[in-house]
């Protein structure tokens, strides 16, 4: 490089990102530690300072740095340029951008001084953490809605979640820096050569250069998945989908990740969404077929094969029983039909607020459910509930009139209560009627993404088994009694769980996921009436989904999602607040389980 050389240092005893750094050597002084000089740079004189300060009130320069380039000076000396990280007050806070600092040397290698070349804002602005959290919940909801029949009966909800994601306005950058592009290309080359560890390193560097580039984030998640770092892969793929919920290959990558984590249902749902948002559906089918034949992981093969069997992907979008004399031709919707009668829902469909397409949704009605119709309104029928909940409208083509002889209740008094709404709930026809006390097998809950903190999985599992036992309605088999580790992992997670439960005499298998758990510092309340104001406050949030399977044929009986939270919890009450939220969520879920199985 010239008279003065650049040396890279590693300090493994320090926490990342301070593990790697640089020093300047063969100079005067002989070794120059960069932070000893850059730490004294005054950033307040830069033209970008005030605009950055308005966005980041605690704007400060931190020691983390990257080497940019070395340039020659007119007098024959050298200039080394480094980018030092700008943070919003603390190392765990938002990254505000970088400060470009030059180290100038004369021809003899003597340090002439340091100079601030300019401040570079983070591009694009990093979205608030709450915005990312909300986006990840929308992605997860899209996955949940697609988990039953590929989401064909929840198309409106999936598209609504996609719209809400796009309205979050978490926009990617308009272009990639030259450095990020070069590193991304290098990572893709390593992927082609199956050098996955090297690919992770290249994509990580590209991500640091431009963390909002969708392709780079997606490639990083894929590389982590191929390298076996499944939790990290999942986090980056969720981030990709927050930025672009229509990105089909990100859904496909997330599906492979879930399959490798033994979450077959989630994997199939992701593959369904990959097909849903694909611009070339034939190519997506060929991709799934290739996974079933050539992937080296049997779990990925099985999940891809299950996805290919979905009627949604095979093109059999609807499976409605034939109606009328014309071999399945539905009656003309304008033909007068009797009203004020009892009808049966022939396929899962939304109950709309108004008699028009695109209206808001009151709730969802399941196939086989009976409803009471009071009047007709064009192509829609008005449905009212005996419990006096909000009425709604259902499309005529989604119901059939129940003949009076088939019901013991006169048609003019027959009513159907609307199903109770949960955060997210889907139901399949029950294979059998259950008698109490009922033997239930409860499997350990799976924590998605970065939710594995504060032993939340164990605390949640203990709460679920506790409330099931305390209800007096269930005999509970826990993971120790089931001998979970002793069972073969052939087939999907659901299939081996049902087999394990069935072999122990259980009628129901309960599987669950913790899709969101957050225990972080919160803003303090304006007023405090306690004896001594605590130094810090916390907020707690928890979101759990449970799925019930009948072990006789491993059919899905019901799905429930519940969430709870607390805000501005004093530090001394933090653990107690977490337990309260867990208790609150699982008390609700236990009530949902009983209400579902008792009907």
Residues 479 and 511 occupy one common structural domain: yes
Stretch 32-52: mean pLDDT, rounded?
85
Label residue 465 by pLDDT band (50, 70, 90). Answer: confident
Share of the chain above pLDDT 70, in %: 77
* pLDDT mean over 567-578: 75
Instruction: Note whether 117 and 134 are same-domain residues.
Output: no
pLDDT band at 189 (very low <50, low <70, confident <90, very high): very high
Number of domains into which the chain is organized: 4
In this predicted structure, what is the pLDDT of residue 213? 84
And the tokens for 226? 């191929």
For residues 499 and 415, membership in a common domain is answered with no
Mind listing the pLDDT tens digit for each residue in 335-348? Answer: 333 456 778 776 66
Are residues 503 and 547 located together in one domain of the fold?
yes
State pLDDT tens for residues 411-461.
222 222 223 333 333 334 444 445 557 888 998 887 765 445 667 888 888
* Start-to-end CA span in the chain (Å): 78
What pLDDT does 372 receive? 83
Q: Where are the alpha helices (DSSP H) in 445-486?
A: 456-470, 479-482
Domain final residue pick, 54, 87, 121: 121
User: Tens digit of pLDDT for each residue in 242-278?
Assistant: 988 999 999 999 999 999 988 888 899 999 999 999 9
Q: Is the pLDDT of residue 81 over 90?
A: yes
| Residue that is last in its domain, among 105, 121, 137 | 121
- Please check whether residues 258 and 163 belong to one and the same domain: yes
Distance (Å, rounded) from C-alpha 334 to C-alpha 379? 7
**Residue bearing the bigger pLDDT, 150 or 172:** 150
Give the residue from 598, 596, 586, 457 showing the smallest Cα distance to 515. Answer: 457
Its domain, for residue 44, covers 5-121
Domain for residue 337, yes or no?
Answer: no
CATH classification at residue 349: 2.30.30.40
Bridge-based pairing of strands 361-365 and 349-352 is: antiparallel
* Cα 171 to Cα 213: distance, rounded to the nearest angstrom: 9
Output the pLDDT for position 389.
Answer: 59
d(CA 501, CA 503): 5
> How many whole angstroms separate alpha carbon 8 and alpha carbon 25?
10
Residues 6+ apart with CB under 8 A from 5: 24, 25, 26
Exposure string of 262-283, with b = 16+ CB inside 10 Å and e = fewer, is bbbbbbbbbbbbbbbbbeeeee
Mean per-residue pLDDT over the chain, rounded: 77
Query: Between 488 and 233, where is the model more confident?
Result: 233
| pLDDT tens column, 57-66 | 788 998 888 8
173 and 289 within one domain? yes
438 membership: H or E segment, kind and range: strand 438-442
- Ramachandran region, residue 89 (left: φ > 0; alpha: ψ -120 to 50; beta: rest): left
Contact 300, 259 (CB under 8 A): yes
Shared-domain flag, residues 408 and 513: no
With contact defined as beta carbons under 8 Å apart, do 145 and 138 qualify? no
Residue 126 pLDDT more than 80?
no
Write the pLDDT tens digit of every residue in 353-403. Answer: 887 765 676 776 766 678 888 877 767 788 886 554 568 888 877 777 765
Long-range contacts of 78-84 (CB under 8 A, 24+ apart): 78/1, 78/2, 78/3, 78/4, 78/104, 78/105, 79/103, 79/104, 79/105, 80/4, 80/6, 80/24, 80/105, 81/117, 82/22, 82/34, 82/38, 83/120, 84/38
| Global confidence as pTM | 0.42
Q: Is residue 195 part of a domain?
A: yes
- Residue 69: both structure tokens together: 């380039």
- Lowest mean per-residue pLDDT among 79-83, 152-156, 333-337, 367-371: 333-337
Number of alpha carbons in the 13 Å side-chain half-sphere of residue 295: 21
Q: Are 309 and 443 found together in one domain?
A: no
Please indicate, yes or no, if residue 581 is contained in any of the structural domains.
Answer: yes
Domain shared by 273 and 372, yes or no? no
Would you place residue 237 in the very low, low, confident or very high pLDDT band (cuts 50, 70, 90)?
Answer: very high
The pair of three-digit structure tokens given for residue 361, joined into one six-digit string: 């949704």
Is the N-terminal amide bond of 437 cis, ω within 30° of 0? yes
Sign for the CA dihedral angle at 451, 452, 454, 455 comes to positive
Omega cis (within 30) before 290: no
332 in a structural domain: no
The whole-angstrom separation of Cα 363 and Cα 419 is 8
CA-nearest of 199, 197, 239, 198 to 218 is: 239
Residue 516 sits in a domain whose CATH number is 3.40.50.10610
Among the listed residues 532, 524, 512, 525, the one whose alpha carbon sits nearest the alpha carbon of residue 582:
512
Q: Would you state the pLDDT for residue 100?
A: 94
Lowest-pLDDT range of 201-215, 315-329, 575-589:
315-329
Q: Supply the pLDDT for residue 473.
A: 79
Distance, in Å, from the CA atom of 557 to the CA atom of 443, rounded to the nearest integer, reads 16
Tokens 């949030």 correspond to: 541
Query: What is the dihedral sign for C-alpha 482, 485, 490, 491?
Result: positive
Phi and psi (nearest 5°) for 197?
A: -65, -40
**416 three-state secondary structure:** coil
Band the pLDDT of 528: cuts 50, 70, 90: low
Burial 373-389 (b: 16+ CB within 10 A, else e): beebeeebbbbbbeeee
* CA distance linking residue 55 with residue 92, whole number of Å: 17
The answer as to whether 330 is a domain residue is no
Mean pLDDT over 348-352 rounds to 73
Domain boundary among 52, 87, 121: 121
| Nearest by Cα to 128 from 157, 93, 85 | 93
b/e for 291-307, b at 16 or more Cβ within 10 A? bbeebeeebbbbbbebb
Distance of alpha carbon 512 from alpha carbon 591, whole angstroms: 16
Q: Would you say residue 331 lies in a domain?
A: no
Q: Which pLDDT score, from 0 to 100, does residue 421 have?
A: 33
Judge whether 327 lies within some domain: no
Does residue 328 lie within any of the structural domains?
no
Residues 6+ apart with CB under 8 A from 79: 70, 71, 72, 73, 102, 103, 104, 105
Do 136 and 263 share a domain, yes or no?
yes
Report the pLDDT value the prediction gives residue 395, as an integer from 0 to 100. 80
| Alpha-carbon dihedral angle through residues 541, 520, 65, 19, given to the nearest 10 degrees | -90
316 pLDDT above the threshold of 80? no
pLDDT score recorded for residue 324 = 34
* Residue 553 pLDDT: 83
* Same domain assignment for residues 257 and 147: yes
Q: What's the CATH number where 182 sits?
A: 1.25.40.10
pLDDT value at 567 more than 60? yes
Contact 11, 21 (CB under 8 A): yes
Whether residue 310 is found in the same domain as residue 287: yes
Q: What is the pLDDT of residue 434?
A: 52
User: Quick one: average pLDDT of 463-472?
Assistant: 83
């Amino acid at each position: 490089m010239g008279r003065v050389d650049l040396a890279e240092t590693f300090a493994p005893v320090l926490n990342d990102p301070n593990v790697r750094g640089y020093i300047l050597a063969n100079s005067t002084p002989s070794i120059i530690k960069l932070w000893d000089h850059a730490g004294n740079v005054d950033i307040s004189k830069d033209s970008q300072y005030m605009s950055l300060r308005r966005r980041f009130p605690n704007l400060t320069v931190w020691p983390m740095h990257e080497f940019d380039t070395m340039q020659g000076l007119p007098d024959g000396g050298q200039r080394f340029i480094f980018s030092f990280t700008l943070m919003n007050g603390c190392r765990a806070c938002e990254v505000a951008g970088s400060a470009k600092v030059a180290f100038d040397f004369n021809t003899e290698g003597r340090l002439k001084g340091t100079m601030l070349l300019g401040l570079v804002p983070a591009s694009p602005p990093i979205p608030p953490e709450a915005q990312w959290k909300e986006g990840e919940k929308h992605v997860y909801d899209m996955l949940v809605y697609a988990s039953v029949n590929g989401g064909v009966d929840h198309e409106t909800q999936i598209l609504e979640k996609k719209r809400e994601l796009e309205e979050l306005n978490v926009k990617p950058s308009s272009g990639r820096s030259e450095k990020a592009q070069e590193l991304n290309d290098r990572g893709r080359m390593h992927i082609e050569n199956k050098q996955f560890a090297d690919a992770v390193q290249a994509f990580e560097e590209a991500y640091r250069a431009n963390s909002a580039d969708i392709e780079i984030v997606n490639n990083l998640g894929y590389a982590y998945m191929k390298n076996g770092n499944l939790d990290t892969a999942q986090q980056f793929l969720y981030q990709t989908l927050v930025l672009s919920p229509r990105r089909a290959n990100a859904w496909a990558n997330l599906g492979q990740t879930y399959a490798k984590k033994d979450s077959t249902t989630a994997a199939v749902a992701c593959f369904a969404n990959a097909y849903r948002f694909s611009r070339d559906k034939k190519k997506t089918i060929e991709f799934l077929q290739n996974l079933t034949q050539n992937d080296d992981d049997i779990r990925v093969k099985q999940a891809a094969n299950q996805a290919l069997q979905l009627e949604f992907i095979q093109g059999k979008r609807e499976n409605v029983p034939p109606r009328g004399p014309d071999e399945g031709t539905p009656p003309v919707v304008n033909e007068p039909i009797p009203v004020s009668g009892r009808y049966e829902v022939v396929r899962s469909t939304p109950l709309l607020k108004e008699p028009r397409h695109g209206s808001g949704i009151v709730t969802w009605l399941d196939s086989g459910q009976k409803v009471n119709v009071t009047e007709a309104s064009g192509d829609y029928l008005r449905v009212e509930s005996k419990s006096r909940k909000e009425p709604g409208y259902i499309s005529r083509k989604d119901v059939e009139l129940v003949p009076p002889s088939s019901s013991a209740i006169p048609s003019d008094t027959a009513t159907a209560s609307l199903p109770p709404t949960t955060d997210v709930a889907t139901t399949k026809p029950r294979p059998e009627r259950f008698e109490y006390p009922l033997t239930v097998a409860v499997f350990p809950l799976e924590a998605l993404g970065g939710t594995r903190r504060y032993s939340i999985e164990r605390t949640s599992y203990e709460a679920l088994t506790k409330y099931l036992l305390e209800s007096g309605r269930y005999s509970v088999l826990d993971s120790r009694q089931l001998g979970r580790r002793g069972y073969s992992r052939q087939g999907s997670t659901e299939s081996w769980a049902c087999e394990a439960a069935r072999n122990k005499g259980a009628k129901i298998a309960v599987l669950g996921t913790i899709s969101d758990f957050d225990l972080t510092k919160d803003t303090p309340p304006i007023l405090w009436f306690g004896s001594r104001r605590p130094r810090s406050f916390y907020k707690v949030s928890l979101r759990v989904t449970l799925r019930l399977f009948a072990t006789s044929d491993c059919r899905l009986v019901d799905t429930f999602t519940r969430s709870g939270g607390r805000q501005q919890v004093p530090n001394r009450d933090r653990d107690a607040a977490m337990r309260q939220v867990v208790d609150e969520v699982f008390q609700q879920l236990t009530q949902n389980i009983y209400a579902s199985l008792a009907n």
